[in-house]
Amino acid sequence: MNAEVKILERSLRQALSGKGAHIEAGNVFEGLDWRAAGARPAQVPHSLYQLLNHMIYWQEWVLQWLDGGRAPVPKHASEGWPGGTSPDGQKDWEEALQRFRKGLAGLRRRSRQADLVTKRGRKSRLEMLHAIASHKSYHAGQAALLRRTMGKWPPPSGGVTW
């Protein structure tokens, strides 16, 4: 493997995790209980639980695409926001967190498994992985801001507070 490919793969893994730019995406929901995850302050369009489920939805969609599947693109944006406002309890919340972390690990693994630049249809694996990294970063920022407004920041592992 040449040096350029190694740099590309490392950069992609960092983008998928958030490392070097902000809190790692896998930690942004850390330390919350299910009640806080389901809270939706006034004037806020989504709870943390809704943000998590939205991130899981698109993460799994991309994983399916990367594995050669033909996941249908939703006809309306609302289809990418599955589930209710709040988890049914702590177990439901923990299961969603596990699903999210499993998907993150799958994305990192797939970023090392195949040729990143060969196109599949109109997109390459690199373009798709870059898109989901950007999506994850965008919503991780929303989650961090929402946690701050709720007085639930930083998570136990730490986070930018300035």
DSSP annotation string for the chain: --HHHHHHHHHHHHHHHTTTTSS-GGGTTTT--HHHHH---TT-S--HHHHHHHHHHHHHHHHHHHTT--PPPPSSGGGGS-S-SS-SSHHHHHHHHHHHHHHHHHHHHHTTTS-SSSEETTEEHHHHHHHHHHHHHHHHHHHHHHHHHTT--S-TT-----
Confidence of residue 47 (pLDDT cuts 50, 70, 90): very high
Between 160 and 89, residue with greater pLDDT = 89
Higher-confidence position of 150 and 114: 150
Number of domains in the chain: 1
Mean pLDDT over all residues of the chain? 90
Q: Answer with the residue of higher pLDDT: 60 or 9.
A: 60
Confirm whether 34 is domain-assigned: yes
160 falls within a domain: no
Which CATH number characterizes residue 132's domain?
Answer: 1.20.120.450
- 136, part of any domain: yes
Lowest mean pLDDT among 16-20, 30-34, 73-77, 118-122: 16-20
From first CA to last CA, the distance across the chain in angstroms is: 40
Residue 154 lies inside a defined structural domain of this protein: no
CA distance 118 to 38: 41
Q: What is the reported pLDDT for 160?
A: 65
**pLDDT value at residue 54:** 98
Determine, yes or no, domain membership for 131: yes
For residue 6, what pLDDT is reported? 79
Q: Kindly state whether residue 158 falls inside one of the protein's structural domains.
A: no
Distance in angstroms (rounded) separating the CA atoms of residues 162 and 134: 22
Largest Cα–Cα distance in the chain? Answer: 52
Domain interval for residue 114 = 3-149
Asked, for residue 162, whether it belongs to a domain, the answer is no
Task: Establish if 155 belongs to a structural domain.
Answer: no
